[in-house]
Amino acid sequence: MSELEKQLSQSGIEAIQALFGEKTDEKQLQWQQTRKDFKGDITLVVFPLLRISKKSPEQTAEAIGKYLKDHSDLVEDFNVVKGFLNLSISAAFWLNFLKENTSLSNFGFKSPKSKSKVMVEYSSPNTNKPLHLGHLRNNFLGYSIANILEAEGHEVFKVQIINDRGIHICKSMLAWEKFGNGETPESSNMKGDHLVGKYYVIFDQKYKEEIAQLQEQGMDEEAAKKEAPLMKEAQQMLRKWEEGDAEVRALWEKMNGWVYDGFASTYQRMGVDFDKLYYESDTFLIGKEKVLEHEKNGLLYRKEDGSLWIDLSSEGLDDKLLLRADGTSVYMTQDIGTAIIREEEFACESYYYVVGNEQDYHFKVLALVLQKMGFKWAKGIQHLSYGMVDLPSGKMKSREGTVVDADDLMEEMKQTAARISEDLGKLDGMNDAEKEELYEMIGMGALKYFILKVDPKKQMLFNPEESVDFNGNTGPFIQYTHARIQSILRKAGKGNVENLGHSEAVENEDVDLLKSLYLFPQVVTEAAEQKSPALIANYAYDLVKTFNSFYQNTTPILKEESESIKNRRLCICELVGQTLRNAMGLIGVKLPEQM
């Protein structure tokens, strides 16, 4: 509930007591924004109050409206539309709001660490391939959700689990060993993660050739997949890794090192970071140990082949594999170990896993298995599921080498931003270094905004060209408006909040903008509750549209003759600029001073 709603609720409770002789409480007073086609700033829904008033909706609203206008300094006027009481808030309230917040760099944010500790896991890549478009959505979502939760007052820990072991890693290792001829990132002039990803694709190609050869010899497809020599060698390499074979471990460390160097530069360009890194190679042993402990107490059972399972049928779920027949671990085992370590280290109230919706079942099972093992904190595990990202050309496949690499896409976004900016002639007076910095800012802003403005749960289609439109619901449109505001403030100077008069009338365009600004703290709260950066992104777009309407429908600030009005509007511009920086900063988008 906003401060305005709290104050109005108190006045509303007094009005109901005075008018109808009955006490009520805040819960019965339902406030909402006034619809744009009606006059007013905030609306009281009076239908829940009819039991108390014993009058029609219109009579009830009329009586309360008149009382509030006569007895509350907040209410300047009112009108009634059926059971809706639309209140116009006094200019003094909006000017006081402007005065209190114009100079606040943290406008809209709660006090740091005033709420519970939470953890957000995102990215969590495999070390057998570079990051791709899907990882971009994951990283942008995770980083933004962490920012939003922190802005709402939570103490936030950003983490990732690096999946640095397993059969998929061994596939890249084996292919490099067999077909790499000693190739390195330096000798090939490739980023390390791209080089390792190249051999993951080569493994798949060679593996398919072996399957085809076995099928030609009369073997069915499923048997051929199991009997293909490459797959058997990869499985043997995984067993050797788990046994600590020195040669396999040395190759693993070398190739993973290449990948980590590549990831680091990609993350830097993305603008994301982490407070703690976890490695599956460390955590799977703890998970394995816990799993074996619970085999002894009867929670788990073994099948005839020796594999270890947990029975979840009583919860309406399938039985879940926790250790393979050969004793090797699965993802669930590793996640059990990682979750236990994190609780011991950080003891958070909530653990948010930002992972695609194809893993919905996995995380439902993870929380349930940990609870069955006696860990009460596992109730705080939440899967922040999101939809996949497709391109106009269709779905991506890592094994077949048809993914859009994150590095390539980020560079393409920069080049697209450069071309469009040049065409629009927005770079007058900038030197080459300033232009390059701006291209990067626009390109990355376009990419992040286009991805984050979509509800996380929805599958989305990414169109690079559309995302850099300077006139649509895009990052560059918001960036350009921010640059326009900064240009105004450079030319006219900042306003003086101490000279904001409270007695003068405030034009509708000013009020509309102040109302939009007033909503920002509430939007941050809702975004934190829903774990949805889309609410922040679309708020920023709506604020920019309202500002542009204000800009076009009022006298240009530099030509405004009234010093009082000019001062007020400069203060408004300053708060709009700060609010845009705060909002877009939450989703990781930088805003230029000039554009």
Summarised one tens digit per residue, pLDDT across range 88-133 is 999 999 999 999 999 999 999 999 999 999 999 999 999 999 999 8
User: What percent of the chain lies above the pLDDT cut of 90?
Assistant: 83
Residue 224 — very low, low, confident or very high, per pLDDT cuts 50/70/90?
A: very high
What is the per-residue pLDDT across 327-380, written as a single tens digit (0 to 9) for each? 878 889 999 999 999 999 999 999 999 999 999 999 999 999 999 999 999 999
Q: Are 575 and 102 in contact (CB under 8 A)?
A: yes
pLDDT at 424: 75
pLDDT at 426: 66
Closest listed residue to residue 206, CA positions, set 239, 234, 167, 169: 234
Query: Which residues lie below 8 Å from residue 61, measured CB to CB, with a gap of 6+?
Result: 44, 46, 80, 83, 84, 85
**Helical (H) or strand (E) element with 535:** helix 533-553
Is pLDDT at 392 greater than 90 in this prediction?
Answer: no
Comparing 58-67, 137-146, 244-253, 429-438, the range with the smallest average pLDDT is 429-438
User: What percent of the chain lies above the pLDDT cut of 70?
Assistant: 97
Q: Are 122 and 352 in contact (CB under 8 A)?
A: no
- In angstroms, the Cα distances linking 551 to 50, 58, 544, 547 are 43, 37, 10, 6
Residue 394 — very low, low, confident or very high, per pLDDT cuts 50/70/90?
A: low
Query: Which residues lie below 8 Å from residue 173, measured CB to CB, with a gap of 6+?
Result: 199, 237, 248, 251, 252, 255
Task: Give long-range contacts, CB 8 A cutoff, 24+ apart: 234-239.
Answer: 234/167, 234/170, 234/171, 234/174, 234/203, 235/167, 235/170, 237/170, 237/173, 237/174, 238/165, 238/166, 238/167, 238/170, 238/328, 239/326, 239/328
Please report the domains of the chain, with CATH numbers, ordered by start residue.
3-88 (3.30.1360.70), 122-390 (3.40.50.620), 419-586 (1.10.730.10)
Closest listed residue to residue 551, CA positions, set 493, 487, 475: 487
pLDDT at 465: 74
DSSP H stretches of helix in 102-245: 133-151, 167-179, 185-188, 192-216, 221-227, 229-242
pLDDT at 393: 64
Is pLDDT at 536 greater than 50 in this prediction?
Answer: yes
Is pLDDT at 4 greater than 90 in this prediction?
Answer: yes
First to last CA, the chain: 38
pLDDT at 215: 95
Residue 499 — very low, low, confident or very high, per pLDDT cuts 50/70/90?
A: confident
User: Taking the C-alpha atoms of 355, 360, 361 and 362 in order, what is their torsion angle to the nearest 10 degrees?
Assistant: 10
Closest listed residue to residue 108, CA positions, set 536, 435, 478, 500: 536
Is pLDDT at 79 greater than 90 in this prediction?
Answer: yes
Comparing 110-114, 399-403, 470-474, the range with the smallest average pLDDT is 399-403
Percent helix, strand and coil across the chain, each to the nearest 5: 60, 10, 30
Is pLDDT at 396 greater than 70 in this prediction?
Answer: no
Closest listed residue to residue 100, CA positions, set 456, 594, 518: 518
What's the mean per-residue pLDDT of the chain? 93
pLDDT at 209: 97
pLDDT at 504: 66
- In angstroms, the Cα distances linking 506 to 2, 41, 190, 310, 466 are 22, 13, 61, 67, 38
Residue 388 — very low, low, confident or very high, per pLDDT cuts 50/70/90?
A: confident
Mean pLDDT of 53-71: 97
Comparing 67-71, 498-502, 562-566, the range with the smallest average pLDDT is 498-502
Residue 36 — very low, low, confident or very high, per pLDDT cuts 50/70/90?
A: confident
pLDDT at 503: 56
